[in-house]
Structure 1
Amino acid sequence: MADSNTTDFSYPSTFILLGIPGLEAAHVWISIPFCIMYAIAILGNFTILFVVKMEHSLRAPMYYFLCMLAITDLVLSTSTLPKMLSIFWFNSREIDFSACLTQLYFLRCFSVMESGILVAMALDRYVAICHPLRHSTILTNPMVAKIGLAVVLRGGMVILPYPLLTSQWPYCKTNIIPDTHCTHIAVVKLACADTRISSYYGLFVLFCVKGLDMFFVALSYTQILRAIFSLPTKEARLKTFGTCISHLCSILAFFIPDLFSSLTYRFDQNVALHFRVLIGNVNLLVPPTLNPIIYGVRTKQIRDRLLRLFTHKGT
């Protein structure tokens, strides 16, 4: 390819990922915590899937949704970390145009899916606490399957316009992306076209998809808290609220870094580039790393199954 900074191509064959601009000398050191987090995410989420599969007492809506969350986290982390580590360790910066769009799509798609799964888990907690006698009749296995299918279809269809629009634009500025992976905003900035439709659609997804998800989660927990505070004893209130702690931690682990990352991109002129890139990568890794730890520590059935597994191996 010609000079990668100022070419006249209209359709690049590859993009160049810079990694973390300004911190190239520290890439190897930065890779260590990211590699550890990725290893925890892979091991932890596969452990969740294994335990739910092996433990028949965990065949319940909450754990089906937890398995969906684990699969989503595995895809999210694996979509970025291998390429990021290849940049840090081997200086492998090139990525094909089609591979870039595929990565962009998977990141956005599974992020929306994870948001939807958290809403489904909030629904499960709402029914279990506010309508406990009807829980088994409302959240049947077919209903859980329909909710899961709706979450997957919503994520796939809502994000589809991103790569479709991006693949239609000419690119004549540069093929350099100052990041470790192909973010939608970074790719759009390289296009030599009016990309306002992409910006408007991005705001639509932000407010009408993730915004609505946050609203439904808040609405569910408003009703849950009302039901909890109506319980007669403090012990009953604490015990019931304890069943929501894991889910609340997952919500915070997902939405807070995601909101912070969105704000840093929105006001990137006031934020150092290397800091914004670091925050974006941490945002992608925090939920996959923390979710299996949260549910492994907080969920008695999962803890007991793991203890039995290690005890049998030890004997």
Structure 2
Amino acid sequence: MKTIKSEKKLCLICMEEHEVDIVEIVEQEIFKGEELSFNSIYEYCANADELLETEEMIKKNSLAMKDAYRKKVGLLTSADIINIREKYGVSQKDFSEILDWGRATITRYENHQVQDRAHDDVLRKIDSDPKWFLEMLTRAKERLSSKTYSKYKHEASEQFKKKRNQYLVNSIQATYADYEDEIITGRVCLNLNKVVEMINYLASKVESLHKVKLMKMLWYSDNLHFKRNGMAISGLAYIALPNGAVPEGYDQIVLLNGVSFDTVYYGENIAYKFKPTPGLELNELRQSEIQVLDDVILKFGNYNTDEIVERMHNEVAYKCTEIYCIIPFTFAEQLTID
């Protein structure tokens, strides 16, 4: 028996006013054929050496027992269900409505009833797949007020963005897991937070920063820092493409959270003009790395796309690397800028 706290009150066991302990006891019980161990809460009267279970404690102890059962058989606990619902900012009633389960179903699952396996699977899918929850929310649109629907859609969209970003991060990191040779990534591990900060810093200083130019400026920044300090900044690996060096996974990198761009149309062509993300701070970049970025901006900030591609084509690193192959940092010493 473990004492959690004590308070002076009228004891309902001995009917005298004194310090009553709130205690925690480990209990064993069988529920649905499963032997369970869980913690229950009681009031304890030292005068009578007896325990009292209030109405509120009866509810909490019953839920603790059922949550112990849920854990044992691999179901979501009541707290897990609450967390999933609150992640989307949805009320109990509306969550049941969106799932088309009956208006009080979620309330029961969060308070006293153990869910069945089918409902548990649905809740797990909602937790892991915000896009699917958005689809269910759209189906339930007519059963919700327009204000409530808009609020839930916004929250679900934010969750989807977070999930999408994690998918992107995992995909990029999986690609880079194959690069065991440190000279490929500039003797540093891939740091996507730094990559995002580099893109934002360049976008904040360069007036017209399109994708091709951005990729070249990232390459020059990493190689210049390697030339000066024996290591790159980002941990990116660069591939030699016909228009110059680009980071491995560049199409996914530009979609990461914290990277912002406008879509610009030039006749039938589409371009991406990068811009700084409001509120994003530089927490990862060191001063020596920022200095290198400044030097690259000073050198190439006013170059147009064709000019920086031509400059890239004249670099020894590019000339000595076969097309579509990784450009090693061993050529950094021969970079045309210091």
- TM-score w.r.t. length of structure 2: 0.21
Q: Which has the higher strand share?
A: 2
- TM-score w.r.t. length of structure 1: 0.22
Of structures 1 and 2, the one scoring higher in RCO (CA 8 A, sep 6+) is 1
| Larger Rg over CA atoms | 2
